[in-house]
Amino acid sequence: MRSRPAISLALAFALVWLSPSRLAAQAHDEQHDAASDQPSGVMLRAFGAVEWAGSQQKETPNSFGLGQFALFATSNLHERVSVLAEVVMEASSSDTRVVTDLERLQITFRFSDFLNLSAGRYHTGIGYYNAAFHHGAYFEIPIGRPRVFAFEDEGGVLPVHDVGVTARGIVPGTGATLRYVAEVGNGRDFATIDDSEAEEAHGDPNGAKSTNLGLSFRPAGSGNLELGGSYYRDTVPRSGSPAVDLHIGAAYAVYRTPAVELMAEWLRLQYSGGGAPTLVNNAGYAQASRAWGKWRPYYRFDRLGMDTATPFIAPVGSYQSNIVGLRVDPMQWVGLKTQYEHTDEPSQRGIDAIRAQLVFVF
């Protein structure tokens, strides 16, 4: 993970330092002066995770580990203006350092239900999953994101983050059934695929802006069903070779209630340009879970098909996994997930693994 420790740590500590006094002020407002609509102080939340994993691979001993620690802060600057920041700290996989990243920083102007404009660093609205769960492992039912939505610094294949401006809201005249998101950003620099999460924050290497347009449909009377799709495109520079035109189409169907979660997404990643043949990779997942009180069994099928000639991300390789697990929430804001995984990867087929993750919010 690329770290800019000074800036990120300063921001993280600033958030922590600021919060108690502001929260105290907010509490005072609510208890003793509820008669005004002044800005409501800073809301600060932290998401943590402790993990354990073991597999049949002898070269990978079973091990405890720390998951991501995400600090999330948001505040209203004005009745219609809010800001949010998400800073993630995690243990480096290569040594004992703790590395930090400013994952999101956005200011949002809420003009109406039809138009919300944001500027800053955001999670791209490609498909559903990426902008639904961010770095909050607590909100995810299984352990980990679907492979296609892996973060850039974990070998991800998508431009998960971007810096730019976004517009979102309800499409006028549709009630609340049709919503849109439109994004313009720097796009991802694929110079490296394992340590490049914040590259787009430094600037656009070729001036060609990434664009993404998404639509989601929530049929009236269908409860919590959401159908949607998105289309992303960018021109990505490549040293010593012509630039690559990247097109990503996504379609999804999601049904989520407090008790039931059914989710399925399919993505098509297309690479073209420079006289080279067009390459297409497909990826997707389907997952289901049902809660009975505190207990929630779940299943996920996860697949990423990768052509070995794909520019930038071919080393990631194809991947397929079946996951069966059980989540229990013994109390509010604490969840324990355990799952069995059967995975096929380029280097080895049929890997069996067991993972556990304790997630919490405070």
Partner 1 sequence: MILAGATALGGLCLSSQQVRAQQTATADALAIIVHRSNPVDELSSAQLKRIYMFDMQNWPHGRKITVMVREKGQPERTEAIRLICGIAEAEYERHVLLQTFRGSLGPGPRAIQSVSAMLRFVFNVPGAIGYIPVDQIDGSVKVLRIDGLLPTEPAYPLRRSQRVGRDD
Shortest spacing between CB 157 and partner 1, in angstroms = 23
**CB-side neighbour CA atoms (13 Å) of 350:** 0
Shortest spacing between CB 315 and partner 1, in angstroms = 32
Nearer Cβ to partner 1 (130/210): 130
Q: What is the binding site for partner 1 (CB under 8 A)?
A: 30-31, 34-37, 40-43, 45, 72, 74-76, 79-80, 82, 84, 104, 106, 108, 110, 112-113, 118, 122, 131-132, 134, 136, 139, 176, 223-224, 257-260, 332, 361
Distance CA 304, CA 269 (A): 10
Shortest spacing between CB 123 and partner 1, in angstroms = 9
Q: Which residues contact 360 (CB under 8 A, 6 or more apart)?
A: 47, 48, 49, 138, 333, 334, 335
Distance CA 361, CA 51 (A): 15
Angle of CA points 42, 48, 49, to nearest 5°: 165
Distance CA 34, CA 29 (A): 6
Distance CA 279, CA 7 (A): 39
Nearer Cβ to partner 1 (260/279): 260
Shortest spacing between CB 332 and partner 1, in angstroms = 5
Nearer Cβ to partner 1 (104/188): 104
For 202-250, the DSSP string reads G--SSSPPEEEEEEEE--TTSTTEEEEEEEEEEEEEETTEEEEEEEEEE
Shortest spacing between CB 252 and partner 1, in angstroms = 15
Nearer Cβ to partner 1 (139/340): 139
Alpha helices in the chain (DSSP H): 5-32, 129-133
Nearer Cβ to partner 1 (160/246): 160
Dmax over Cα atoms in the chain, in whole Å? 69
On whether the CB atoms of residues 242 and 273 are closer than 8 A, the answer is yes
Shortest spacing between CB 84 and partner 1, in angstroms = 5
Nearer Cβ to partner 1 (118/343): 118
Shortest spacing between CB 340 and partner 1, in angstroms = 26
| Strand, helix or coil for residue 112 | strand
| Strand, helix or coil for residue 264 | strand
Nearer Cβ to partner 1 (164/311): 164
